[in-house]
Structure 1
Amino acid sequence: MGIILVIEDDIRIQKTLRRLFEGENYEVQILHDGVNAKKAASALGVEAVVLDLMLPKISGREVCRNLKEQQPNLPVVILSAVSEVADKVLLLELGADDYMTKPFSPRELLARVQAAIRRSNRMGAKVKVPKGFGDVIIDLDQMEVVRGGVPMSLTAQEFKLLRYFFENPMRVLSRQQLLTEVWGYEVYPTTRTVDNQILKLRQKLEPNPTEPRYLRTVHGAGYKFVPEG
């Protein structure tokens, strides 16, 4: 097994998580704050990050954003006392792979972390070749997008969504399916998250976002990526 990086300032939870993951033969590394998170997460063998939202010195939101900018495929599971839906949606849009609230079930957390690792491994196993459509050239592994010769800026979550569309061309994908496979949701508090993210992708990548050629809406069913437009 690889390394689970735990970023958590509560000593009791640190001990619980160490016992939990070491019991499954993972190595556990613990940080008390997010200051050195990027360096620790980039170490060889790190398979996932469990991240507390309320940290000293630097917020969990900022740590999540920084980690996903550096390593978009590294699973990050948020562990927090904050339970509002808006906060969950914000973290998932920043690229977090899952979100659990305190108090939490250790076995459920373990299952969610392992599920996030499996999703990441499946995505990482894909052939690493540049792809594109229309006047857009995309290298998903390098997180680089060029449209009409101009570099475009996409968030980590936009890249995850775009990657999933590329892996499933011409398939009608429901909002619930996208929330499960891309965001890691098991319960769907709102499907507007998907609509908002696709709107942003269209604004950045479609010739005419109001009449999309590539990221099409299938009314009553979901969305479909049409590479040839």
Structure 2
Amino acid sequence: MNDTILIVEDEPKIARLIADYLSKSGYASDHIDHGNAVMEWLAEQTPMLVLLDLMLPGTDGLTLCRQIRERYPALPVIMLTARVEEVDRLLGLELGADDYICKPFSPREVVARVKAVLRRTHGAAGAETELAEEERLVLDEDGWRALAGGQDLGLTAVEFQLLKVMMQSPGRIFSRDQLMDHMYRDHRIVSERTVDSHVKKLRRKIADIWPERDIIRSVYGVGYKYQPEE
């Protein structure tokens, strides 16, 4: 494995912008603009991560993601898409993408999501500088507590489970249905407004300790994500 991030994107301006921001964050990158060239490139080199556009000339991104998963199951893949209707498929286990980003996007957001996925998959290779104690959000799973800067947030069991699920995958967007499945293991019927209510209470409790930080973010029309600050 090398330290390169492979950018598979047929729009040159977008590819250059992502590459520039990755470079500023210390990551090398390579670029492919045609789907038919990806698997041949991967046969010769193994990058740290693949940023894979959904709509490509030649082999499309969905097909490529499946092929990558079959041949290189440990290689992280982040999908880039302008098609909101593909969100459920991108998040699904059958496709195997580690995360996805909807266009248009901020290049800073791309870098943050790359770091988050690398933390999950490569450990220290993608880790950020250790936060000071007063800046850390820590889960005490034995005591079902969440500590923000050492202070107990006073979460309910459902709020704790909600936060735990999102913290396990920083930067990943969870739909309300996915969060409901994790929050209520007995599969009771609840409305999306119930999820929104729990998220609102969770954010309020975090804001009581960290009023300047916004680490639980809503994504319009999709759901919620935990986004630790850089």
Instruction: Work out whether the TM-score is over 0.5.
Output: yes
Instruction: Provide the C-alpha distance between the structure 2 equivalents of 1:25 and 1:48, rounded to a whole number of angstroms.
Output: 14
TM-score, length-normalised on structure 1? 0.56
Q: Is the 8 A contact 2:116 2:169 kept in 1?
A: no
Is it true that 1:58 corresponds to 2:45 in the alignment?
no
Match of 2:55, SS state, is coil
Instruction: Provide the C-alpha distance between the structure 1 equivalents of 2:171 and 2:118, rounded to a whole number of angstroms.
Output: 11
Partner of residue 77, structure 1: 78
1:55-134 map, 5 Å: 55-84=56-85, 87-93=86-92, 94-122=95-123
Name which of structure 1's ranges 35-44 and 47-56 shifts more when overlaid on structure 2. Answer: 35-44
Kindly state the Cα deviation for residue 20 of structure 1 after the two structures are TM-superposed: 1.1
Match of 1:79, SS state, is strand
Q: Is the 8 A contact 1:48 1:76 kept in 2?
A: yes
**Partner amino acid for 1:117?**
L
Kindly state the Cα deviation for residue 41 of structure 1 after the two structures are TM-superposed: 3.3
Instruction: Provide the C-alpha distance between the structure 1 equivalents of 2:5 and 2:76, rounded to a whole number of angstroms.
Output: 10
Instruction: Provide the C-alpha distance between the structure 1 equivalents of 2:166 and 2:42, rounded to a whole number of angstroms.
Output: 25
Identical amino acids, percent of aligned pairs = 31
1:198-217 map, 5 Å: none
**Partner amino acid for 1:41?**
L
Kindly state the Cα deviation for residue 29 of structure 1 after the two structures are TM-superposed: 0.6
Structure 2, unmatched stretches of 5+, are: 126-159, 189-230
Kindly state the Cα deviation for residue 36 of structure 1 after the two structures are TM-superposed: 2.5
Partner of residue 175, structure 2: 188
Is it true that 1:26 corresponds to 2:27 in the alignment?
yes
**Partner amino acid for 2:41?**
A
Q: Deviations over 1:130-173 (max 9, x none)?
A: xxxxxxxxxxxxxxxxxxxxxxxxxxxxxxxxxxxxxxxxxxx9
State the number of aligned residues: 153
Cα distance change, pair 122–22 in 1 and its aligned pair in 2 (3 A): closer
Q: Is the 8 A contact 1:75 1:96 kept in 2?
A: yes
CA RMSD of aligned residues (A): 3.5
4+ aligned runs moved over 4 Å, structure 1: 42-45, 173-180, 192-195
Q: Deviations over 1:38-96 (max 9, x none)?
A: 23335555111111100001111001111111122211111111112xx1221232011
Partner of residue 219, structure 1: 186
Q: Is the 8 A contact 2:112 2:171 kept in 1?
A: no
Instruction: Provide the C-alpha distance between the structure 2 equivalents of 1:193 and 1:73, rounded to a whole number of angstroms.
Output: 28
Cα distance change, pair 45–68 in 1 and its aligned pair in 2 (3 A): closer
**Partner amino acid for 1:191?**
Q
